[in-house]
Structures are given as structure tokens and as C-alpha cells.
């Protein structure tokens, strides 16, 4: 997902001011959203990615730009991103099983994130995670079969 997706969805508008406050250093960086969904730093440099914009603003990195940049009211870009993902996931399914799987997958990922944010991340195998996306690649050996 890009910032432009938030602009296209009407969750951000051109000119929206963004602030990145670094608590430990006390630095504050300002930017604005452009009409084409880029983040423009005060020096005029523009970036598609909030993470790249955060790293460029500080001259350091890496940063999770989604949780770094906030609107004037304190709302993080990540909150807007999650709202858009929720809206897309909650749209009525077109009757296909692929749409149903997508809704279930989104729900699982949202629950996993909620648990991680609460300090209790879930654990699962790579096989199980790949299974959320519709199956395990046949070219990988089944370790469980080998251990029988």
C-alpha cells in the first residue's frame, strides 16, 4: 500500500501536514502530502514511501514510516492504512471463495497484529503462514512426512 492509496480513498488530501517527532532525540520533521500521494519534505524532496521519507528527513534509518508520520491531530498514517484495509476487507464478497478467503486472511492478520501490539505475538510455522495464502508450495519438502 502507498500513501497515494490513502489519497485515492479520500483518507488524505493534498496539503495535509505530517509530523515525525523523534522522542529520544527531540527532533521534529515536517512534511506534507502532495496531490499525487507523495510525502514532500520541507526541502522539497518527495517520496512515495513514508519509510523512505522518514529516513531522508532524519538522514538515518530505517524507520517504519507508517508509524512515524502523524497528522496534526496525532493520527498515525498507520491508522489510516489499517482503516483502508479494513474497508476493503469488509466489502461484500462477489460470491467467490477467493473473496471469502481474503476476508478470513485479513481477519487473521489483524488479530495477529493486535496480539503483537499487546506484547503477546502469535507463533506459527512458515508452512502455516503460507497456508493462510492458499497452500504450501509443492516444491518444498514436507518436513512432517520425513519425520514419521
3-state secondary structure of 20: strand
Number of residues assigned to the chain: 148
pLDDT one-digit tens code per residue, 117-128: 888 888 878 777
pTM of the model: 0.67
Contact predicate 70/76, CB 8 Å: yes
* Whether pLDDT at 11 is above 90: yes
Does the structure show a pLDDT above 70 at 145? no
Are the beta carbons of 34 and 46 closer than 8 angstroms? yes
DSSP state of 4: H
Amino acid at each position: 500500500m502507498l500513501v497515494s492509496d490513502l489519497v485515492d480513498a479520500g483518507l488524505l488530501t493534498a496539503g495535509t501536514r505530517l509530523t515525525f517527532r523523534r522522542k529520544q532525540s527531540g527532533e521534529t520533521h515536517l512534511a506534507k502530502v502532495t496531490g499525487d500521494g507523495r510525502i514532500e519534505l520541507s526541502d522539497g524532496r518527495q517520496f512515495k514511501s513514508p519509510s523512505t521519507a522518514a529516513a531522508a528527513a532524519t538522514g538515518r534509518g530505517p524507520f517504519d514510516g507508517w508509524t512515524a508520520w502523524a497528522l496534526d491531530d496525532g493520527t498515525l498514517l498507520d491508522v489510516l492504512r489499517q482503516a483502508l484495509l479494513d474497508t476493503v476487507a469488509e466489502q461484500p464478497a462477489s460470491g467467490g471463495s477467493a473473496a471469502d478467503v481474503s476476508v478470513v486472511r485479513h481477519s487473521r492478520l489483524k488479530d495477529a497484529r493486535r496480539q503483537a501490539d499487546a506484547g503477546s505475538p502469535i507463533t506459527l510455522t512458515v508452512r502455516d503462514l503460507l497456508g493462510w495464502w492458499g497452500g504450501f508450495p509443492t516444491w518444498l519438502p514436507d518436513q512432517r512426512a520425513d519425520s514419521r
